[in-house]
A = this chain, B = another copy of it.
Amino acid sequence: MTSAPVHAADTRERILEAATRLFTERGFARVTVRDITSDAKANLAAVSYHFGDKLGLYERVLEIGLRSAQQMNTETILPREGHTPEECLRHYVREYLPRIVRSDDRGWIFQLLKHEMSNPTAVARSYVRGAIMPGIEFLTGVVGDLLGEASTPERVRRCTTSIQAQCLFFLPDPFKSMVMPDFQPSTDEAIREMADHIAEFSLAGIRAIAAQRRGPRVRPR
């Protein structure tokens, strides 16, 4: 009895929620177990009890993120048969970009993986391929179709990279937004406009590459 135990039995869930949010914001290394448990209003030892250790908790968060990313891929990737490559590209960017810009329930996994870039944990490797490779492979196919007869593996790779780079640039970033705040779209409208821009900009770029003669390599200027 005493004074109403907080034993809500969902301590584990509260820790997971707090960990997901904090890991997403700051990455693995810059979040302490004390941060998580105090945020989740749980005891320090609860992490060890429920998840073995801090890394076990992190892996659990990654697992959940991977599932959400796979769900996302089903929404950004249009069936190639029944849609033109142009439609596929426009749809992909328009669905992809909002999830990159806003790290909400659907896009937080990308921000979390971004922290892995500067601070790799080695656990993320396996999760990554499942999360982002499908999108890359889809884009690769679409770009190959768009290049048509001018397609070469190098050209496909370079064009795909150009598109990916333009999208991933918008992963939230305290430093970038500090340095050049104007370049980060904030409203839904601005995000949609940026997505349309990337699609049209890239379609024109791909067409220009496709128009170059094949062979040793055209070197302008």
Residues of A participating in the B interface, judged by any CB pair closer than 8 Å: 27, 29-30, 86-87, 90, 113-120, 124-125, 128-129, 132-133, 136, 154-155, 157-162, 164-166, 168-169, 173-176, 178-180, 182-183, 193-194, 196-209, 212, 217, 219-221
The answer for the CA separation of A177 and B132 in the assembled complex, in Å, is: 13
The reply to whether A200 and B212 contact each other, CB–CB distance below 8 Å, is yes
The reply to whether A117 and B180 contact each other, CB–CB distance below 8 Å, is no
Chain B contacts for A133, CB-based, 8 A: 179
The reply to whether B209 and A201 contact each other, CB–CB distance below 8 Å, is yes
The answer for the CA separation of A175 and B132 in the assembled complex, in Å, is: 13
Instruction: Name the CB-closest residue of B to A206.
Output: B201
Closest Cβ–Cβ distance, residue A68 to chain B (whole Å): 18
Check A90/B175 contact, CB under 8 A, given A158-B197, A200-B209, A204-B208: no
Check A175/B30 contact, CB under 8 A, given A162-B166, A169-B168: no
- Copies of this chain, count: 2
Contact of A201 among B115, B154, B157, B159 (CB under 8 A): B159
Check A169/B161 contact, CB under 8 A, given A129-B179, A180-B136, A201-B209: yes
Contact of A203 among B29, B87, B208 (CB under 8 A): B208
Closest Cβ–Cβ distance, residue A158 to chain B (whole Å): 4
Instruction: Name the CB-closest residue of B to A115.
Output: B118
Beyond known contacts A27-B118, A118-B118: 14 more, CB 8 A cutoff: A90-B220, A113-B175, A116-B175, A117-B118, A118-B119, A157-B182, A158-B194, A158-B201, A161-B194, A162-B201, A165-B166, A169-B169, A199-B220, A203-B208
Closest Cβ–Cβ distance, residue A50 to chain B (whole Å): 28
Closest Cβ–Cβ distance, residue A178 to chain B (whole Å): 6
The answer for the CA separation of A161 and B118 in the assembled complex, in Å, is: 22
Instruction: Name the CB-closest residue of B to A199.
Output: B220
The answer for the CA separation of A182 and B160 in the assembled complex, in Å, is: 11
Contact of A30 among B87, B119, B124 (CB under 8 A): B119
The reply to whether B217 and A193 contact each other, CB–CB distance below 8 Å, is yes
Chain B contacts for A162, CB-based, 8 A: 166, 197-198, 201
